[in-house]
């Protein structure tokens, strides 16, 4: 029987609003989400209308909220399919996880099967009495899918930490003039530029004395000091 309902048949283009209206009227419930069908209990009762006595509604869990309770309902439905020689595959894992498209397509298939084989039995069927007065608990579908559905987690990626700016400065650098570079003793004590010029350009002391005095100031050869002073003079021209 199942093979007669192909995927391209009009049954699989029935909108969910029509599915809701059909199930709510037939079973005296109030579903507004396709995911509410994931427990399998309402599928079982629809099948009980089509084939009375082929499944035991007393074994159906109307308050099912957990995955193993959903699966138990689908086992009952599968056994009824076998009794009626229905070869339709029930994708238990996907239906029980509340996957929207799978539940929509199964509900569309079941409605078409219902229309073909139920006849007028639905009008005389007392859905509430058949459930023993129990109301199906559909709270598991709050938020759009059953709480038992496997959560989708995003893979974590270890992004490298941004590198710190080490050893760099945003402050502008200023170049030192030649005499400013030389104007430090080994003990890091400042020396007056005027005192250097006074020694170098003095006419009253000999060159040897100039060398001794400059070495006393810098501890550097007099030629280096003299060249530095000449560079300074060129910069000031």
Tens of pLDDT, residues 72-84: 999 999 999 999 9
> Could you report the per-residue pLDDT of 127-159, keeping only the tens digit for each?
999 999 999 999 998 865 555 444 434 444 454
For 103, phi then psi, to 5°, come to: -70, -35
Q: Could you tell me which of 43, 179, 30, 173 has the C-alpha nearest to residue 113? A: 43
Q: Residue 89 forms beta bridges with which residues?
A: none
**Contact between 210 and 200 (Cβ < 8 Å):** yes
SS3 61: coil
The pLDDT mean for the chain works out to: 78
Q: What CA–CA distance (Å, rounded) separates 104 from 125?
A: 24
**Contact between 85 and 76 (Cβ < 8 Å):** no
Token readout for 228 is 């530095």
**Residue tagged 């078409």 (tokens):** 112
Per-residue confidence band for 205, with pLDDT thresholds at 50, 70 and 90: confident
Q: Is the pLDDT confidence value at 17 over 80?
A: yes
Q: Is the pLDDT confidence value at 164 over 70?
A: no
Q: Is the pLDDT confidence value at 22 over 70?
A: yes
pLDDT of residue 27: 96
Angle at 92 between CA 142 and CA 33, to 5 degrees: 25
**Contact between 179 and 190 (Cβ < 8 Å):** no
> Between these two residues, 194 and 177, which has the higher pLDDT value?
194
């Amino acid at each position: 029987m199942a093979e007669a309902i192909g995927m391209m048949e009009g049954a699989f283009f029935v909108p969910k609003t029509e599915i809701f209206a059909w199930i709510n009227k037939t079973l005296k419930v109030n579903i507004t989400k396709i995911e509410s069908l994931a427990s399998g209990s309402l599928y079982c009762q629809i099948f009980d209308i089509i084939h009375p006595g082929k499944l035991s509604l007393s074994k159906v869990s109307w308050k099912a909220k957990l995955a193993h309770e959903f699966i138990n309902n689908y086992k009952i439905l599968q056994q009824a399919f076998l009794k009626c020689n229905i070869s339709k595959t029930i994708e238990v894992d996907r239906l029980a996880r509340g996957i929207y498209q799978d539940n929509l397509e199964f509900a569309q298939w079941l409605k078409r099967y219902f229309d073909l084989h139920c006849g007028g039995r639905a009008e005389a069927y007392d859905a509430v009495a058949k459930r023993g007065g129990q109301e199906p608990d559909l709270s598991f579908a709050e938020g759009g899918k059953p709480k038992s559905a496997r959560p989708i987690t995003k893979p974590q990626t270890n992004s490298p930490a941004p590198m710190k700016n080490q050893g760099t400065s945003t402050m502008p650098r200023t170049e030192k003039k030649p005499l400013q570079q030389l104007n430090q003793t080994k003990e890091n004590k400042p020396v007056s530029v005027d005192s250097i010029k006074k020694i170098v350009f003095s006419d009253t002391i000999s060159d040897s004395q100039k060398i001794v005095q400059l070495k006393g100031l810098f501890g550097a050869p007099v030629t280096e000091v003299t060249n530095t002073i000449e560079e300074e003079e060129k910069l000031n021209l």
